[in-house]
Structure 1
């Protein structure tokens, strides 16, 4: 009987150790989401941090990322249109392309791009602040690190994901139109009709919510991982690695959940 008690105790300790970081991350995410809607958050200091975050995350890479997304969209659209016409499904080519590319692929690619561009940097920055006791020092002088340091980064990350997704989605739709109808305006009516079928109000709401969750994930998870770093410098790379692994799985989980809700 004693061995059973030890086994259950050990199993409980393992479960607590495994799920405690997730619970803390969800708790921080809830606090961050609630704090975004707090009027006290928006002052000149926090606006400066938000602007810097957007500039570093989105504006600096807008040109190169747009070019990458355009090339990716062009290749995938040509493949999809050619395959659809070969199988006699040319009428469905545009709808399939828009559903796959704009609703599913480009938001995920954008989130992954922002995660690599900004998520890892945020993770490392917060981990070093935590290790060097800078967060505690801010608290000691009465500065709310959550309001001044963390929430502006969350807001900047969310806005960056939403903005980049909107830009590359418009580029993909333009390329899709030109690929099917050329530069003629005769296809605008048919194109608009298909857009209305694909982007129903419910579908647009779902896409917006998915991008919002992507934006929260690429900032909240790295910040939470950085705050968990032990106060030793050599733990900083481990904290970044842990945060990025969690972030990858979270993004995949959001995408799989979106696919299941939409198509099952």
Structure 2
């Protein structure tokens, strides 16, 4: 009897879990479409809204860019040195630069840039902003333009800037580590890098960074939009946003790996 009674309860919990999961992703898709419509509205960039948007862009990008630039440079130097020494020991020094570009620039930097912005800026900011909203209130268009969209745009822009600057910095450090301060290896260096960055790989890299930035900017603010201050357990809600965000990042990364190497 206990086994028979527990079976419906298990099925009921699975049903509720599946419904909640579908509702969560449906709400996220709705919020993404709403933010796209706000972004395409000319009034969003009017005289009253421009200072707010600019303040969020600078505040969420400049501190992250400084910290992440230093961190990526240090880690990049270590990884470049490891790849160089390993390739020399196996007699594969001609492949060292290509391995550095593929591992560091194509894979690690975009992934860590998205994770860095999410953990340092968008997830804490989304949780903090949600506490100031009353539960059940419907956001008006001015609130969407002055409160929600600047935060989403700042998260998206921060990922773009961190990934772009860090990728360029990694390429410069790779050249200096492999060839030193000489301009005579520049032709061979650009040829190898150009062979790696063929049109397909470049398109996949750009799309990966764009989708990473959308996930980082949209997921925390979607919870604030739909739930407001109804955070009965704040830590639980923050963890659910974190799990959802990093699940999306993982799926995007797997899709990019399949596109690059299959």
**Aligned-pair distance for 1:132?**
6.1
Q: Deviations over 1:203-257 (max 9, x none)?
A: 2222111111111111100011223436446433332222122112211221111
Q: Is 2:162 aligned against 1:164? A: yes
Q: 1:68 aligns with which of 68, 71, 76?
A: 71
Q: Which runs of 5+ in 1 are unaligned?
A: none
Contact 1:124-1:226 within 8 A present in 2 as well: yes
**Aligned-pair distance for 1:173?**
0.6
Q: Is 2:36 aligned against 1:59? A: no
Q: Could you say which residue in structure 2 is the equivalent of 1:250? A: 248
**In structure 2, what is the Cα distance between the partners aligned to 1:201 and 1:36?**
29
Task: Write out aligned runs for 1:82-97 (5 A).
Answer: 82-97=85-100
Contact 2:135-2:227 within 8 A present in 1 as well: no
Contact 2:211-2:252 within 8 A present in 1 as well: yes
Task: Write out aligned runs for 1:102-117 (5 A).
Answer: 102-117=105-120
Q: Could you say which residue in structure 2 is the equivalent of 1:47? A: 50
Q: Could you say which residue in structure 1 is the equivalent of 2:129? A: 126
**Aligned-pair distance for 1:49?**
2.7
Contact 1:226-1:240 within 8 A present in 2 as well: no
Q: Is 2:172 aligned against 1:174? A: yes
Q: Could you say which residue in structure 1 is the equivalent of 2:259? A: 261
**Aligned-pair distance for 1:19?**
1.7
RMSD: 2.4
**Aligned-pair distance for 1:33?**
3.0
Change (3 A) 1:64 1:7: closer
Q: Is 2:151 aligned against 1:144? A: no
Q: Deviations over 1:129-183 (max 9, x none)?
A: 33467x54x63xxx43222221222222111111111111111111100111100
Change (3 A) 1:67 1:251: same
| 2:120 alignment partner, SS class | helix
Q: Which runs of 5+ in 2 are unaligned?
A: none
Change (3 A) 1:11 1:247: closer
| 1:184 alignment partner, SS class | coil
**Aligned-pair distance for 1:13?**
3.3
Aligned residues, how many?
Answer: 258
| 1:185 alignment partner, SS class | coil
**In structure 2, what is the Cα distance between the partners aligned to 1:77 and 1:252?**
24
Contact 1:131-1:233 within 8 A present in 2 as well: no
| 2:227 alignment partner, SS class | coil
Contact 1:125-1:226 within 8 A present in 2 as well: no
Contact 1:158-1:216 within 8 A present in 2 as well: yes
**Aligned-pair distance for 1:97?**
0.6
Q: Could you say which residue in structure 1 is the equivalent of 2:233? A: 235
Q: Could you say which residue in structure 2 is the equivalent of 1:211? A: 209
**In structure 2, what is the Cα distance between the partners aligned to 1:152 and 1:232?**
22
**In structure 2, what is the Cα distance between the partners aligned to 1:57 and 1:187?**
38
**In structure 1, what is the Cα distance between the partners aligned to 2:47 and 2:202?**
33
